[in-house]
Amino acid sequence: MTLQTGPGPAVAVVVPVRNEAANVEPLVSEIAVSLAHEGPFEVVYVNDGSTDETAAELDRLRQDRPWLRHVRHAVSCGQSAAVRTGVAAARAPLVATLDGDGQNDPSFIPAMLDRLRKDPQIGLVAGQRVGRKDTGFKRLQSRIANGVRSRVLKDGTRDTGCGLKAFRRDVFLALPYFDGLHRFLPALVRRDGFTIAYVDVVDRPRRHGVSKYGFWDRLWIGILDLAGVWWLIRRRVRVPQVTEGDRSC
C-alpha cells in the first residue's frame, strides 16, 4: 500500500458523505487499491454532519491508514459544500471525487488522472454513467434535468450528476462557488478556457442505505442555479492569457 513520502501527495480523492457508516470501509479499501500505482496519495472524507456511526468508522479506519483524512461539517451543508471543503483541504494538485455510497467505481480514477496529466488544456475529466442502477423515477428526473441543462448551457455533457470526476485543484478553486456547483462543473470549467474530457463509467447498485440528497429538495434551487450559471457564462466574454516579462531584459 502506498504511503505519503516527500513534500506531499500527488493525488487526492475527495469523498463527501452523510450517514454512510456501512459504506465507508469497503469504499476506502477499493480507493486504496485503485491508487496503488499513482504515487503518494491522500483520501479526504468530508463528513457532512452525519448523525450515525460514520465519524466513528472513519476514525477507526484512520488508525492504520495514514493517508486517510476525516474532515467534518458540524451540521449538514450539502454536497457542493462538502466537495469544496474537501478540495480546499486537499494538498495534491490533482483531485478526484466520487460519491460515498459505493455506486461510483474507483477503478476508473487512474484513467481519468492519466487524461489530465497528458493534456494541460484539460481542466476536468467527467464520468458519464452507463447502465444506471437507480430507480426508474430517479433516471427520469436525471434525463429531464440533463436535457434542460444541456439546452440552456450547451455544455456538451449528457450526465453532470455523476460524482466520479477528476480535475486540477487550482482550476476548481478558481470557480465561483454556490450551492449546487458540483452539477455545473463542465460548463463553468469550459467558461474558464479549459477543455472537458469524458470517460464512460459503470454505475453500481448502492450497497447500503438510501440516497441522502433528494430530488424535491433541490428542484427549485437547481432551476435558479441554472439561470445563474447561464448568466455567468454570458458575462465571461474573454479569458485572459497571462504572461510575465523576463526580468533579465
pLDDT (tens digit per residue) in 115-155: 999 999 999 999 998 865 555 555 555 565 555 555 555 56
Q: What would the grid cell of residue 221 be?
A: 434551487
Confidence of residue 158 (pLDDT cuts 50, 70, 90): low
pLDDT at 152: 55
Confidence of residue 225 (pLDDT cuts 50, 70, 90): low
- Torsion from C-alpha of 204, 69, 18, 34, nearest 10 degrees: 0
Average pLDDT for the chain: 82
Confidence of residue 4 (pLDDT cuts 50, 70, 90): very low
Average pLDDT (147-167) is 71
Which residues, in sequence order, are CB contacts of 221 under 8 Å at separation 6+? 179, 180
How far the first Cα of the chain sits from its last, in Å, is 49
pLDDT at 226: 64
Confidence of residue 229 (pLDDT cuts 50, 70, 90): low
Compute the distance between CA of residue 216 and CA of residue 182 in angstroms, rounded to an integer: 17
Q: What would the grid cell of residue 31 be?
A: 480507493
